[in-house]
């Protein structure tokens, strides 16, 4: 990427930041101290996505600045990365009062900002931190304990990426075994960053066209007397 492209990307991210800072799309803007846009490198190959800002993040306007954030920093250093090389964001940009779970209306209002961040930054790998971000971004109800540490391929913000579900660092702080698993899963990130980007996933129309094509090429059309089987 040329310096001009990189500068334009940063500029567009700053524009989005201003939009988020002034956002009033959901009632959380009334209770937040500061919106937490996310922070890091606009050219990052790696994005981390947590759930929502906590009390300290709300005060500072920065993501993962509490104890969970410190652990995230340590784990990054262990794999030879720093916060300045990655981008760290949350699904919600405003703190839910008392750290309650995000409500559907809040997610609906806020998730377009995350998709725009992914579209602008163009990462290769997106690591979801914890159950909430994992379920939302994978589009699956399967919990983090069953999917953690195994890279998946997903289309996010119009971009095909590796998605690596990870335990939330706050859960790792509570349970040493979880911390160990999180550390092991972090160790897989450097190799994942080197893997060739997956081919874009076929669109629904392409899949339907493919299925229709296969049905005519490989299978004879059902005879009239078989049609009853299909309701
Ligand atoms: N937990 C999160 O999910 N995000 C933060 O920014 C901090 C704690």
One-character DSSP codes across the chain: --HHHHHHHHHHHHHHHHHHHT--SSTHHHH-SS----EE-TT-SEEEEES---HHHHHHT-SS-SHHHHHHHHHHHHTT--GGGSEEEES-SSPPGGGPPPPHHHHHHHHHHHHHHHHHH--SEEEEESHHHHHHHHT----HHHHTT--EEEEETTEEEEEEEE--HHHHHH-HHHHHHHHHHHTTHHHHHHSPPPPPPPPHHHHHHHHHHHHHHHSPPPPGGGGGGG-
User: Is 90 near ligand 1, meaning CB less than 6 Å away?
Assistant: yes
Q: What is the pTM of this model?
A: 0.88
- Considering the domain 3-220 in this protein, what is its CATH number? 3.40.470.10
pLDDT-derived band at 230 (thresholds 50, 70, 90) equals: very low
**All structural domains of the chain with their residue ranges:** 3-220
pLDDT-derived band at 23 (thresholds 50, 70, 90) equals: very high
Q: How far is the CA of 188 from the centre of ligand 1 (A)?
A: 22
More confident residue, 226 or 197: 197
- Give the pLDDT score at 6: 87
Lowest mean pLDDT among 53-57, 70-74, 198-202: 198-202
Q: How far is the CA of 12 from the centre of ligand 1 (A)?
A: 24
Q: How far is the CA of 220 from the centre of ligand 1 (A)?
A: 55
pLDDT-derived band at 221 (thresholds 50, 70, 90) equals: very low
Q: Which atom of ligand 1 is nearest to the CA of 63?
A: 6
The pLDDT tens digits for 63-72 are 999 999 999 9
The pLDDT tens digits for 109-156 are 999 999 999 999 999 999 999 999 999 999 999 999 999 999 999 999
Q: Mean of the pLDDT values across residues 177-188? A: 98
């Amino acid at each position: 990427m040329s310096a001009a492209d990189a500068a334009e990307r940063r500029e567009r991210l700053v524009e989005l930041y201003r939009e988020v800072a002034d956002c009033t799309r959901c009632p959380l803007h009334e209770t937040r101290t500061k919106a937490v846009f996310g922070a890091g490198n606009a050219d990052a190959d790696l994005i981390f996505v947590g759930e929502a800002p906590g009390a300290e993040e709300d005060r500072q306007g920065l993501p993962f600045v509490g104890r969970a954030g410190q652990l995230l920093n340590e784990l990054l250093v262990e794999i030879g990365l720093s916060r300045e090389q990655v981008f760290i964001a949350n699904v919600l940009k405003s703190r839910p009062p008392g750290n309650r779970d995000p409500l559907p209306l809040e997610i609906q209002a806020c998730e377009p900002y995350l998709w725009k961040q992914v579209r602008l930054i163009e990462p290769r790998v997106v690591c979801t931190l914890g159950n909430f971000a994992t379920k939302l971004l994978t589009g699956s109800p399967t919990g983090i304990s069953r999917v953690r540490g195994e890279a998946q391929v997903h289309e996010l913000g119009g971009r095909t990426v590796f998605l690596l579900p990870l335990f939330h660092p706050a859960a790792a702080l509570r349970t040493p075994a979880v911390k160990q698993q999180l550390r092991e899963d972090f160790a897989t990130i450097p190799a994942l960053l080197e893997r060739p980007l997956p081919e874009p996933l076929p669109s629904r129309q392409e899949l339907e066209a493919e299925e229709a094509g296969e049905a005519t090429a490989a299978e004879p059309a059902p005879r009239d007397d078989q049609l009853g089987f299909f309701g």
